[in-house]
């Protein structure tokens, strides 16, 4: 593992992401080394010869200037790294940024695969409308271990429950959904009493990891080769349409609100979570840009 500390001019980056006004990334790279990570494209900008998952740059930045301009805005932790990857325990760059942002009046959303975030629960709770999501795309630990080096699914679920019970908006982010492998309803059943929102996101293969994932599927699940060829070569939407119908029927039976491309609807605490479908990336991107 190659770890280096770097100086950056600014930590706040304006973004067109539909979920926030600013993206913040206290690290470059991530030791979770997810095989499907879309952020692996960052490698081309870092001058790192190491494989994705084998390097991390730890950022140092100057004090945030003009903090008043962030009041009423939202910051997303993080767009291209996990803010609570194991190195955070030592370097505390995410915690340092949270402490700097707390007086500004900004709201925050955090996405992670870690339970290290429990360390900062009391701090996060002080932000207005704080929202935290945990990525979970399987309950099968063997499959999870094939795909990432993050903490176990049970540890993620336990952290989610503690945040939910502390009154912090919590999301089970079922992402990425692997066709023929991820059991969406099984995960919702497991998490539905400890989150306000469930996001569904399809496996979106692009860049250098497309070949890596398809090779893994061929080696471990050759029976799914044809399905993945239909989806990722022939661009068929049939699988996602059928899954959409299945989830719609399931949520209707369970009394859950099922919506598309809108994370502003969140269930009140103690009620079944809202389930939100984010299957079609290109449509979400166009919609977000149009709304800016």
Please report, for the chain, how many H helices and E strands are present, in that order: 11, 12
Tell me how far apart the alpha carbons of residues 93 and 188 are, in angstroms, rounded to a whole number: 32
- Tell me the two tokens of residue 205: 């293969």
**Nearest residue to 81 via CA among 113, 139, 39, 21:** 39
Side-chain-side CA neighbours of 231 within 13 Å: the count stands at 23
CA distance 254 to 183: 17
Q: Which of 60, 54, 26 is nearest to 40 (CA)?
A: 54
- pLDDT at res. 260: 80
Query: What is the rounded average pLDDT of the residues 55-78?
Result: 93
Quick: pLDDT tens for 211-222: 999 999 999 999
Q: pTM of the entire structure?
A: 0.91
CB 23 within 8 A of CB 59: no
Please tell me the distance from the alpha carbon of residue 146 to that of residue 74, in angstroms, as a whole number. Answer: 34
* Domain spans in the chain, listed from the N-terminal domain onward: 1-129, 146-292
pLDDT (tens digit per residue) in 1-39: 999 999 999 999 999 877 799 999 999 999 999 999 876
């Amino acid at each position: 593992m190659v770890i280096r500390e770097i100086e950056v001019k600014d930590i706040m980056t304006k973004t067109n992401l539909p979920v926030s006004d600013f993206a913040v990334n206290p690290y470059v790279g991530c030791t979770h080394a997810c095989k499907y990570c879309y952020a692996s494209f960052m490698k081309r900008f870092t001058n790192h010869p190491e494989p994705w998952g084998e390097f991390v740059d730890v950022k140092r930045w100057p004090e945030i200037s003009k903090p008043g301009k962030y009041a009423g805005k939202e910051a997303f932790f993080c767009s291209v790294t996990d803010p609570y990857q194991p190195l955070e325990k030592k370097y505390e760059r995410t915690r340092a940024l949270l402490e700097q942002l707390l007086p500004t009046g900004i709201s925050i959303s955090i996405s992670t695969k870690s339970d290290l975030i429990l360390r900062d629960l009391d701090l996060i709770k002080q932000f207005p409308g704080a929202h935290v999501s945990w990525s979970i795309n399987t309950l099968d630990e063997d499959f999870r271990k094939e795909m990432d080096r993050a903490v176990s699914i049970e540890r993620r679920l336990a952290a989610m429950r503690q945040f939910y019970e502390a009154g912090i908006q919590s999301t089970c982010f079922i992402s990425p959904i692997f066709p023929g492998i991820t059991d969406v309803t099984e995960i919702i059943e497991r998490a539905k009493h400890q989150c306000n929102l469930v996001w569904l996101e399809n496996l979106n293969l692009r860049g250098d990891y497309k070949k890596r994932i398809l090779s893994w599927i061929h080696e471990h699940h050759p029976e799914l080769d044809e399905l993945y060829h239909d989806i990722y070569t022939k661009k068929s939407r049939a699988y996602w349409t059928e899954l959409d119908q299945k989830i719609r029927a399931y949520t209707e039976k369970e009394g859950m609100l099922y919506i598309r491309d809108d994370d502003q609807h969140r269930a009140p605490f103690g009620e079944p979570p809202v389930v939100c479908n984010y299957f079609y990336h290109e449509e979400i991107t166009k919609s977000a840009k149009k709304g800016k």
